[in-house]
A = this chain, B = another copy of it.
Amino acid sequence: MRVRLEDVARAASVSPKTVSRVLNDEANVSDDTRKRVRAAMEAMDYRPLSSARSLAGNRSFLVAMLYDNNDNPASTYLAEIQDGVLEACDLHRYSMMVRPLRMRGDDFVRRLDAVISDHHPDGIVLTPPITDYAPLLQRLRERHVPFASVSPMSRTDNIGVAMDEQLAARTMVEHLLSLGHRRIAHVSGIADHGASRWRLAGYREAMAAAGLPEDPALVVEGAFTFASGVAAARQLFALKQRPTAVFAANDDMASGVMWAANQSGLKVPQDLSVCGFDDIPLASQLWPALTTIRQPSREMGKIAALQLLEVLRGRGQGQLVQMPFSLQIRESTAAIP
């Protein structure tokens, strides 16, 4: 038969309520008692029944990770974040569920409400690009559902994890500048994603700081996909004055650019330097391996979830953790000839 809390109580010669206190790490339990109870739990391999805990305690021990994969082809990114969130949840014995939640559609709030009412997550982890969708944030606040975000656009009133993407992008471009490149193109992402804005801003900042005039022809909008990288590259290669380096806003597009370069007979990095952003697994597998910005997605998912859990467990307020980035210089960038 199942071991119940009551059984543990009997074994430890305390009341069920005391076992409950130990289980929930509550204060006001003597060290001696706590130890005895813990030992009994261990000895009996006690597994609290989460449905009973939820019913009695009015909490679900559930964290929901919301995402919109409609606009987000980089499923490897979401998968990594998911792994990180799950790791954090496991640490505190919370469950995790994942829910796609498309932004488009006027029944958005209804769908969000359904998720909350049906599953009662204690808290929510938001992933780009829905980290900044106003109706979502508003509704979560109205319903008092705590949430944490991965790479939110707004850096105030938010907990979770963020990276200084603008500085990272600037650093990337400065690397190209230091190699002697002057005609540096940028393939940006979907316009209203925070990631696109910051990376583009970082590019512009670096170019301006180097005293280079802005050339609109050198900035092409992509969609974070391999195919859009190919298309953007074709457009850039068709320019009368071809760029000598391309900074793509993510690795998928960067590999598209490299592919197109290969097709056009351009050697990377001899004829063209290419760099990306994210450091997806493919980046180091490509040949030549891609110079990029390392963004530890898995770790970021974990940290965001930990901030949320801190709040859920009544341990603190949580904060917006600033993530360091690192420039991964590999073989796809080189000095101009």
Contacts and interface: CB of A to CB of B under 8 A. Distances in A.
Contacts of A93: 118
A53 B118 CA distance: 12
A72 to B, nearest CB: 11
24 contacts: A47-B117, A50-B118, A50-B119, A50-B120, A51-B51, A51-B52, A51-B54, A51-B55, A52-B55, A55-B55, A69-B83, A73-B281, A75-B75, A76-B76, A76-B79, A82-B98, A83-B100, A93-B118, A225-B285, A226-B282, A226-B286, A230-B285, A259-B286, A263-B287
Interface of A: 47, 49-55, 60, 69, 73, 75-76, 78-80, 82-83, 86, 93, 95-100, 117-120, 225-227, 230, 256, 259-260, 262-263, 281-282, 285-287
Contacts of A281: 73
Contacts of A78: 79
Given A51-B54, A226-B286, A259-B286, 16 more contacts: A47-B117, A50-B119, A51-B51, A51-B52, A51-B53, A55-B55, A75-B76, A75-B80, A79-B79, A83-B100, A86-B98, A95-B119, A96-B97, A98-B98, A227-B285, A262-B263
A237 to B, nearest CB: 13
Most chain-B CB neighbours within 10 Å: which of A51, A79, A95, A281? A51
A119 B50 CA distance: 7
Nearest to A73: B281
Contacts of A69: 79, 83
Contacts of A47: 117-118
Given A51-B54, A55-B55, A282-B226, A100 B86 contact: yes
Contacts of A287: 230, 259-260, 263
Contacts of A98: 82, 86, 96, 98
A118 B48 CA distance: 7
Given A50-B119, A79-B75, A225-B285, A97 B97 contact: yes
Contacts of A51: 50-55, 60, 120
Nearest to A57: B51
Contacts of A97: 95-97
Contacts of A49: 55, 120
A26 B153 CA distance: 49
Nearest to A2: B117
Nearest to A285: B227
A227 B290 CA distance: 13
A95 B99 CA distance: 10
Nearest to A263: B287
Most chain-B CB neighbours within 10 Å: which of A52, A93, A230, A259? A259
Nearest to A76: B75
A330 B97 CA distance: 38
